[in-house]
Every structure is written in C-alpha cells, then in structure tokens.
C-alpha cells in the first residue's frame, strides 16, 4: 500500500467527538467541527472500517477517555435546581447538538452551503461577528500609560460624551454624574485608583471606537492600559468598580475584538458578578455571610442584565457554554428612563435564555416565542438588530426541529428583516460600528436564501447592498470575507436554480408540442404547449384565497399536507 493510499484512508476516518455527536467530520487533524466549537479532536488510530476483532485480555479494560463536549457542558453548567432537574431528565446528545448548531449562525451558514452544493461550501467561520475581528488592535503595538498621561482633560471629556451618546443608551450600567465627578477628580488631584482608572480607560476606548472609523495609537494604548490594570486586580475580591471596568472591556471586545477573547472576558465577568453578590437581593435572613457590594439595586440589575445578554449570545455564536448563575434572584427589568433603551435589550433576555441547548423548549414554545418577538416594536437601530438577531435564531431552531412556518409568519419575518437591513444602514451612516451592523445583514442573506420565495429573494438586493456599503466604509478582512461568502451563497443558489430549470427543460423536450403542419401554405402560429394556461388569470380571480407566491414556493408541494392539500 502506497503512502498516498494510506493518507486517503486516514482522511476518511471520523474523529471520536464527531462520532459521539453524530456529525459530519472532514477528517482533518484537528477537524473543522472541533476547531469551530473548541472541542478536543481525538482519533483512535486502531479502529478501522472492518469488523471488530476479538480483543485480548490486556485490551479489555476500558480506556479512560476525555468526556465528550456534551458531557463537559452538563458537568460544568451552573444550573438552577429547576434547570438541573431538566438536564438530569436527559437531553439526547444529537438533539442538543442540533440545538447548538441552530443557535450558531456560523453553523447555519455551513449547513446552508452544504444544502446548496456539498462539494463547494465555506468552512466553519464566524462571518462578520463584528466588523473588525481584532484588526483595530493589530495595526500597532500598544503601550501601557496612565490615563492622565494618555489624554488631556478636554479629550477625556469629549470621549466620555461620545460614550454616553452612543453606547450608554443601549448598555446603560454606568452613572454618568459619578463618571463626570471622577474625571474632574482624576485630572486635578492625580489620585490613582486602578479600578477607577480602568473604567475611564474603557469609556475612552469605546469613545474612540465610536468616533473614528480607523483606530489611532491612543485607542490601542487605552485598551492595553485597561487590560493591564484589570489583570493586576484579579487577585483581589471583585468590586462593583472592577466589574464595571471588565464589562466595558467585554463591550469593546464584542464590537472590535476576536470572539474567543471576548467570550473568555464575558465568562469572567459573570463569575465576578456572582462573587460580588450582585445576583441576589440583600436579605438579613440568610445564614451565609453576605458578599454583596454596596451598590443600589438599579445599578446592580443593569450590570447583571447587560453581562448576561453579552455572555449568552457570545456562547451561542461560538457553540460554547454560557455561564448560568445558580443563585440569581434579580428578576426585575431596569427602570425605563429618558433616552435609555437598555430595557428593550433586557426584555429580550428571557427568550434568549430559553434557547440554551441544555434546556428543552418544545416547538410550540419556540413558535410562541417567535410570535412574541416578531410583534415587538423597538425604537432605535441597535435594539432593532438585537430583535432581528433573536428572531433569526428562533427561526433556525424551528428549522432544526423540521417545523414548517406558516405564510403569515414568513411575511412577518420578512418585514423584520427589512427593518433589520434599514437599521444596519442607519448604524453605518452614523459610523457607530455595533457588532450586529454586519452580522445581522449577513445572517439575513442566509435566511432569505433558506426561505426561498419570491418575496425573500427580492430582498436579497438590499441585504447584499448593505454588506457592500459596510465593507466600503469599514474595509477589513472580516467585512470582505462576509461579502465574498454571501456572494458565493447567492451564486450557489443561482446555479441550483439553473440546474432546476435545465431539468424542467429536458422534461419538456421529452414531451414536445404538436408538430407544425409543414404542408400548410400559411404560416401557422407556433405553439409552446401552454395554450391551456390562457384561462388561468380568469380562474385565479375566482379563487379568493389563492396565493401565487405560495404556489411558486418549492416547499409548497413538499409540505402539501400543512397547506391543506392532503
């Protein structure tokens, strides 16, 4: 046997993780699935495709092998008693894997490409997770400086103003008056406090991010200085100030950093919140020592809700475990206040939590959640994109359960996707690079192709134009890859339609129309065999509930029973 033959054989061997989860394995080492979902990729070299041979006594002892990714999630999840009862009742690994893939927009892209053309499909990749994916930090080498050395008082005030105009209305968990007071104190007395300086660095870095298309040296130094200050404080008990600084770093990384670094920081924030006791309301009846920091309930509630929102969706996007706090008792939403829309994000949180792969929502519950999310009215572009992202995830979950959506629901989805494209364009015009700016339009392209109706395909032009505009302004590898991949998916879809049309043409050639009478002296009217359709418009007008678009939908005949035809 030649080495090349041996290599081909090994490439067809699936890793143990993909075997356990019943997933397609590409045979790479590590394989694409394990790289994408951060699994440990293990190959058992002794196994072959042939029948198993009797093992000798020295091989009969069961080998200790690492737990599967599903087992790791079940062991590491910090679930409440109700969640623990659900998990111990047993979630089939393949069902949990399907839910995991449905939550991840990247996995959906790959599955869509596999459906369009199994031979030509993109590898698993977090397309357009944000517009930068770390490119802003990769331009120069950052250096640590004290905040007062990096910025003048006037520049710090300008960046703080940008932050409170652009970021705080969406993720409002900082007291503006307290920040203003601390800025004045820091530049007049030169009093250094690590956690407070880290907060100011985080605010200033986000101010730079939302005021400049391209990063400057000050922004990079601010991010690096905040990181160093926060890492130096990790050995001390968590405080509200240090948690606030870490949460600001999570927001920055979600908008401009890489997904793994952002997820790690987000998970750390969740554990710090629990350690500081921010998840429970103060009570004098508990026998346990209280760890709750001195902070008002409204601020604590906002910190917890924003941190939960970010951690949940980062985990979903990457197919990793979210941090589920077991002793959380804060259930109230933040109090609405003028110019603040944090409550709109928070109102989506219960639906996001129900999408956890370790939970078992039924198809009916997911449909109810989708109806509720679609009927919501959001006020500003960033929250509209958050609503759209949640609705698309619910659609993917229902699709994974092989649930057929009604025409009315599909129309509502298309209305929301239209609003999502418009919201992304508005964010681009404001030069406010929220993380959903490119991610949601890219996911909209995928969902429109999956719906595959006349109405959905007609929206593709706007979605693709939105991605093109974003790539023109924020010209990064992340936006270019998203645009190229979206175009490839549309091209694969077009080729599939052409093959479908070619097959129909071949069928018509097998059954040609009546031959033309060549003996006739007059030129007869050529027939294409469709004269019987001349009466269709009149017939259609008599059908009160006939929908021509539904008739042309490929899924119409496939789901004939659900359309009342069977």
Question: What secondary structure does DSSP assign to 414-432, as a single string?
Answer: HHHHHHHHHHHHHHHHTT-
Please state, in angstroms and rounded to a whole number, the distance separating the CA atoms of residues 157 and 151: 10
**Please, which pLDDT band fits residue 269 given cuts at 50, 70 and 90?**
very high
The distance of Cα 160 from the centroid of its chain, to the nearest Å, equals 29
DSSP 50: S
The distance of Cα 38 from the centroid of its chain, to the nearest Å, equals 16
* Structure-token pair, residue 431: 């030069």
The pLDDT score that the predictor gives to residue 464 is 97
CB-facing half-sphere around the CA of 303: CA atoms within 13 A: 31
The pLDDT score that the predictor gives to residue 350 is 92
**Please, which pLDDT band fits residue 12 given cuts at 50, 70 and 90?**
low
Please state, in angstroms and rounded to a whole number, the distance separating the CA atoms of residues 17 and 34: 8
The pLDDT score that the predictor gives to residue 486 is 92
| End-to-end Cα separation, the chain, in angstroms | 56
Please state, in angstroms and rounded to a whole number, the distance separating the CA atoms of residues 328 and 83: 13
pTM over 0.85: no
Please state, in angstroms and rounded to a whole number, the distance separating the CA atoms of residues 240 and 248: 12
**Please, which pLDDT band fits residue 224 given cuts at 50, 70 and 90?**
very high
Q: Is the pLDDT of residue 53 over 90?
A: no
Residue 453: strand, helix, or coil: coil
pLDDT, tens only, 501-517: 999 999 988 888 776 54
Share of the chain above pLDDT 70, in %: 70
The pLDDT score that the predictor gives to residue 13 is 82
User: How high does pLDDT run on average in the chain?
Assistant: 78
The pLDDT score that the predictor gives to residue 15 is 86
* Structure-token pair, residue 147: 């905040």
Q: Is the pLDDT of residue 72 over 50?
A: no
The pLDDT score that the predictor gives to residue 401 is 86
CATH code at 12-41: 4.10.240.10
Among 5-9, 228-232, 292-296, which stretch is predicted with the lowest mean pLDDT?
A: 5-9
The stretches of 283-333 forming alpha helices (DSSP H) are 297-318
The pLDDT score that the predictor gives to residue 23 is 79
pLDDT, tens only, 311-361: 999 998 888 889 988 766 556 788 888 999 999 999 999 999 999 878 888
Mean pLDDT, rounded, for 451-478: 95
**Please, which pLDDT band fits residue 75 given cuts at 50, 70 and 90?**
very low
How far are the Cα atoms of 87, 332, 349 from residue 81, in angstroms, in the given order?
A: 10, 20, 20
The pLDDT score that the predictor gives to residue 86 is 38
CB 216 within 8 A of CB 208: yes
Higher per-residue pLDDT: 126 or 132: 132
Residue 388: strand, helix, or coil: helix
DSSP element (H, E) containing 75: helix 69-76
CB 184 within 8 A of CB 232: no
């Amino acid at each position: 046997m030649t080495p090349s033959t041996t290599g081909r054989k090994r490439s067809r061997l699936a890793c143990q993780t993909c075997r356990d989860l019943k997933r397609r394995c590409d045979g790479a080492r590590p394989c694409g699935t394990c790289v994408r979902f951060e699994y440990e990729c293990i190959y058992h070299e002794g196994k072959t495709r042939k029948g198993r041979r009797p093992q000798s006594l020295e091989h009969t002892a069961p080998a200790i092998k690492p737990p599967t990714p599903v087992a790791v999630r079940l062991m590491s999840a910090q679930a409440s008693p109700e969640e623990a009862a659900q998990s111990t009742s047993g979630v089939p690994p393949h069902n949990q894997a399907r839910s995991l893939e449905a939550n991840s927009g990247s996995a959906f892209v790959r599955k869509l490409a596999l459906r369009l053309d199994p031979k030509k499909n993109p590898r698993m990749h977090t397309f357009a997770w944000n517009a930068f994916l770390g490119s802003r930090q990769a331009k120069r080498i950052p250096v640590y400086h004290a905040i007062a050395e990096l910025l003048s008082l006037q520049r710090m005030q300008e960046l703080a103003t940008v932050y409170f105009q652009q970021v705080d209305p969406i993720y409002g968990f900082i007291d503006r008056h307290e920040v203003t007071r601390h800025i004045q104190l820091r530049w007049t007395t030169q009093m250094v406090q690590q956690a407070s300086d880290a907060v100011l660095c985080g605010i200033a870095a986000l101010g730079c991010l939302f005021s400049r298309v391209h990063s400057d040296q000050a922004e990079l130094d601010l991010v690096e200085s905040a990181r160093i200050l926060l890492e130096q404080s990790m050995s001390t008990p968590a405080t509200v100030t240090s948690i606030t600084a870490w949460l600001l770093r999570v927001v920055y990384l979600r908008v401009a950093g890489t997904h793994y670094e952002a997820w790690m920081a987000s998970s750390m924030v969740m554990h710090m919140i629990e350690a500081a006791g921010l998840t429970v309301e103060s009570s004098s009846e508990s026998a346990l020592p209280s760890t709750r920091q001195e902070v008002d309930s409204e601020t604590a509630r906002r910190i917890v809700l924003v941190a939960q929102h970010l951690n949940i969706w980062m985990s979903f996007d990457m197919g990793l475990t979210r941090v589920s706090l077991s002793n959380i008792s804060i259930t109230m939403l933040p109090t609405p206040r003028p110019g603040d829309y944090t409550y709109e994000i928070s109102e989506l949180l219960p639906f996001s939590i129900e999408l956890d792969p370790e939970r078992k929502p039924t198809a009916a519950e997911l449909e109810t959640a989708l109806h509720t999310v679609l009927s919501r009215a959001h006020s500003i572009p960033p929250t509209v994109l958050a609503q759209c992202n949640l609705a698309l995830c619910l659609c993917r979950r229902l699709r994974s359960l092989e649930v057929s959506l009604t025409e009315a629901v599909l129309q509502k989805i298309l209305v929301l996707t239209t609003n999502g494209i418009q919201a992304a364009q508005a964010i681009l015009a404001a030069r406010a690079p929220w993380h959903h700016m490119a991610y949601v339009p890219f996911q909209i392209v995928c969902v429109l192709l999956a719906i595959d109706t006349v109405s959905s395909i007609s929206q593709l032009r706007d979605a693709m134009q939105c991605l093109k505009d974003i790539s023109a302004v924020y010209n990064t590898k992340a936006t270019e890859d998203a645009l190229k991949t979206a175009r490839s998916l549309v091209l694969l879809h077009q080729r599939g339609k052409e093959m479908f049309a070619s097959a129909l043409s071949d069928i018509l050639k097998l059954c040609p129309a009546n031959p033309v009478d060549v003996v006739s002296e007059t030129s007869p009217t050529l027939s294409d065999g469709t004269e019987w359709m001349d009466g269709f418009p009149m017939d259609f007008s008599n059908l009160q509930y006939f929908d021509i678009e539904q008739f042309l939908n490929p899924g119409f005949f496939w789901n004939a029973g659900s359309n009342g035809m069977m």
